Amino acid sequence: MPQSRTNLNPEPETNEPYLIGLLLRFSTFGAAILLLLAGLLLINWWLIVIGGFGVALGIYDVIQSKHAILSNYPIAGHIRYVLEDFRPEIRQYLLEDDKEQVPFSRQQRALVYQRAKNVSDTNAFGTLDNLYTHGKEWFLQSAISQPLENQDFRIMVGGERCQQPHDMSVFNISAMSFGSLSANAIMALNQGAKLGGFTHDTGEGAISPYHRKFGGDLIWELGTGYFGCRDDNGNFDPQSFAEKAIDPQVKMIEIKLSQGAKPGKGGVLPAEKITQEIADTRQVPTGQDCVSPSSHTAFSTPRELVAFWQQLRELSGGKPVGFKLCVGQPWQFMAIVKAMIETQNYPDFIVIDGAEGGTGAAPVEFMDNVGMPMVEGFLLVHNTLVGAGIRDKIKLGVSGKIVSGFDIARMIALGADWCNSARGFMFAVGCIQSRSCHTNTCPTGVATQDPYRQKALDVPSKAERVASFHKNTLKSLASIVGAVGLQHPSQLQPYHIARRLDDGQIKLLSKFFYFTDREALLDHSARADVFNQMWVMANPDSFLANNDALIAYNKDSRDKGKETSAPTKQSTESLENIDNSGLLIGNVNNTFRDFPSSNN
């Protein structure tokens, strides 16, 4: 039997392997020494400088103890660190496939760049997609498809208690704060929103002077730090809020419960990144970290949350108020819904942020493993509101890797009212996905506070690109809606999209996803019993689960032999909801919208 199998530490017969390895490891260092000697002999100053620098670097590498690679491979070991630093660029430009999403594919980025620059976004020679792979989705076009004249699709946001409803586009800029983005990027986004007639979410970093410069419509997001309307202790300041919220430029107020990149976790803006402008905007001191807590201090129960959004509504003069969340424990959202019903006080809108979102920095564990993805999160919220019988009282927005007309059309077909995009609009102002947002070294000046780097971002030209990206994306959305034979995205339904399953079968999304029946939760008749179970766990007076109620419900279900999979009255009625135009075969997503008539 060979010695290598019987002796775990075999002794080499000669020293040749060790000597050869030693020569290879120190060959670059040796070359630097020879280069220095050659320079001295030839009296060539270039060789002396280059060789001397190499020798000095090699000596430092040998005597330092922090990096084992540099100690074992002096000078040559630095090549690894250089390649590691440039790995994203090498991968993006040389190795990355056109469809490989990390997190956005080259094709997705190119689509945004083309539409932002108003150049042709068409491709030739067929699709790059494998149309037979599992998970592939496509719209089912109609034999009576037609081009649409109106491509500026809009919705009205504002419920019964709202006194200043907002007419907004179905495609808007998602939350990105000043501080996370540069001043020039904020100005370009807001001027683009002004030019294109859509809405710009401020993010939780408050309303900066750069949001106000061009007068684009704003959604003011209030996070757990209450930046821009906080007292000296970091708590909510009603008077400061009211002074800013009545500004006509502020169209809606959004309470951030959680965000997709790091749900359930607060944030810290390091003291060294807090400029005087950021400190003034956020109403925080300079010289110390700016902490965004993980939860709110203005409320601690679902019922208190309802009271808080009503307070904001009154302080803002009756503007639309809602909240944003990345869905976590479902019974907690259902507890908020129960509090709405009991108080008869509903938010004007809810934005569902998918866990795939995130324009700034977040721990890898949170980005990869915490929070619900956008589609599942949206369907949980949508189905809960439908099952509680209040879906028609609240508008729903979504955000999470939305950059194309198909992305928008798909989510509206599932039941959303509008879509937001953050990274899509970052691409429009010049982002190249270098993934250095948290380092203050963004190469395009989008996500940095370095005044020299952000100076390279030309505001007027980038604002035009933001507006063009929005316009051309809605044009693409209109093409899809027209191809399906409809007049408005609100008419899209889940059965207009087909999906290929793992086994090769094809299902319509109306059969692939679960859609609950209207008011089914109120009498525990949801066909998916897990919804009934989570509903009874929800407590409007606490975010903690009511486990006693769940135990009682399960016992009652066993005693009665309850069968929740049987068709309900609501489910059979929904199939009979035929639109007079003949274009629809039922309101599967239960959005209860007013569809445009067929003669429009």
**Amino acid 534: pLDDT:** 96
Counting the structural domains of the chain, the total is 3
What is the domain extent for residue 471? Answer: 145-506
* Cα 404 from Cα 480, distance rounded (Å): 11
In 415-516, alpha helices (H):
423-428, 451-454, 459-483, 509-512
Report the distance separating Cα 60 and Cα 25, nearest Å. Answer: 15
Q: Residue 350: helix, strand or coil by DSSP?
A: strand
Report which residue type is found at 357: G
Residues 185, 305 share a domain: yes
Same domain, yes or no, for 499 and 538? no
- Position 103 in a domain: no
Asked if residue 519 and residue 496 are part of one domain, the reply reads no
Q: What is the DSSP string of 495-560?
A: GGEEEE-TTS-EEEHHHHS--PPTTTTTTT--SSHHHHHHHHH-BTTBSS--HHHHHHHHHHHHHH
Same domain, yes or no: 358 and 295: yes
Which range is least confidently modeled, 96-110, 319-333, 438-452, 569-583? 569-583
pLDDT digits (tens, 9 = 90+) for 553-577: 888 877 765 554 444 444 444 434 4
Q: Which of 37-51, 321-335, 557-571 bottoms out in mean pLDDT, i.e. has the lowest?
A: 557-571
Same domain, 152 and 253: yes
pTM of the model: 0.84
Burial degree of 82 (CB within 10 A; 0-12, 13-18, 19+): exposed
Assigned domain for 598 exists: no
* Domain match, 257 and 389 both: yes
The answer to whether 413 and 492 are in contact (CB under 8 A) is yes
Whether 600 is in a domain gets the answer no
Residues contacting residue 551 through CB under 8 Å, at least 6 positions apart: none
Poorest-confidence range of 154-163, 270-279, 343-352, 408-417? Answer: 270-279
Mean pLDDT of 192-216: 96
Give me the residue label for tokens 């440039």: 86
E strand or H helix at 419: strand 418-421
Is 313 inside any structural domain?
A: yes
**pLDDT band, very low/low/confident/very high, at 19 (cuts 50, 70, 90):** confident
Q: How far apart are the first and last CA of the chain?
A: 87
Last residue of a domain, one of 43, 64, 89: 89
Angle between helical axes of 27-42 and 16-25 (0-180°, round to 10) = 60
Confidence check: pLDDT of 340 > 90: yes
Q: What is the CATH number of the domain that holds 456?
A: 3.20.20.70
Which of 107-111, 320-324, 479-483 shows the lowest per-residue confidence on average (mean pLDDT)?
Answer: 107-111
Identify the top-confidence range among 14-18, 410-414, 499-503. 410-414
* Statement to judge: residues 398 and 422 lie in one domain: yes
Q: Verify that 481 and 534 share a domain, yes or no.
A: no
Average pLDDT over residues 206-211: 95
Q: Report the percent of the chain where pLDDT is more than 70.
A: 87
Is residue 346 situated within a structural domain?
yes
Rounded Cα–Cα distance for residues 333 and 440 (Å)? 36
Distance in angstroms (rounded) separating the CA atoms of residues 369 and 378: 18
524 in the same domain as 483? no
The strand pairing partners of 189, in sequence order, are: none
pLDDT the model gives residue 93: 67
Least confident of 51-60, 78-87, 173-182: 78-87
- Beta-bridged to residue 351, according to DSSP, are 324, 397
Secondary structure letter of residue 150 according to DSSP: -
% of residues, the chain, pLDDT over 90 = 56
Q: Select the more confidently predicted residue: 290 or 542.
A: 542
Number of CB atoms found within 10 A of residue 500's CB: 18
Q: Answer yes or no: are the C-beta atoms of 281 and 382 closer than 8 Å.
A: no
Q: Residue 179: its pLDDT value, please?
A: 84
pLDDT (mean) for 390-399: 97
Q: Which of 55-69, 209-223, 293-307 has the lowest mean pLDDT?
A: 55-69
The answer to whether residues 512 and 441 touch, using CB atoms and an 8 Å cutoff, is no
In a domain, 418, yes or no: yes
Residues 485 and 518 in one domain: no
* 160, part of any domain: yes
How far apart, in whole angstroms, are the C-alpha atoms of residue 164 and residue 176?
Answer: 24
Residue with the larger pLDDT of the pair 84 and 573: 84
Strands 250-256, 267-269: parallel, antiparallel or unpaired by DSSP?
A: unpaired
Minimum mean pLDDT among 202-211, 375-384, 576-585: which range?
Answer: 576-585
Q: 126 lies in a domain?
A: no
364's tokens: 């890898």
Residues 282 and 364 in one domain: yes
9-13, 197-201, 302-306, 514-518, range with the lowest pLDDT: 9-13
- The neighbour count for residue 131, using CB atoms within 10 Å, is 9
For 454-508, how does the pLDDT look when each residue is reduced to its tens digit (9 = 90+)? 888 999 999 999 999 999 999 999 999 999 999 999 999 999 999 999 988 999 9
How far apart (Å, rounded) are the C-alpha atoms in residues 236 and 206?
13
Per-residue pLDDT, averaged over 78-88, amounts to 76
On whether both 219 and 304 belong to a single domain, the answer is yes
Q: What is the model's pLDDT at position 544?
A: 94
Q: How far apart are CA 135 and CA 12, in angstroms?
A: 55
Mean pLDDT of the chain: 87
Q: Is the pLDDT assigned to residue 205 strictly greater than 80?
A: yes
Whether residue 429 has pLDDT greater than 90: yes
Phi, psi of 156, deg, nearest 5: -105, 125
> 353: closest CA among 394, 399, 395, 416?
399
Q: Which pLDDT score is estimated for 22?
A: 72
Confidence of residue 275 (pLDDT cuts 50, 70, 90): confident
- For 150, what's the count of Cα atoms within 13 Å in the CB-facing half-sphere? 10
Q: Which residues contact 382 (CB under 8 A, 6 or more apart)?
A: 391, 396, 414, 415, 416, 589, 590
**Strand-pair partners of 156:** 167
Query: Which burial class, exposed, middle or buried, applies to 168 when counting CB atoms under 10 A from its CB (0-12, 13-18, 19+)?
Result: buried
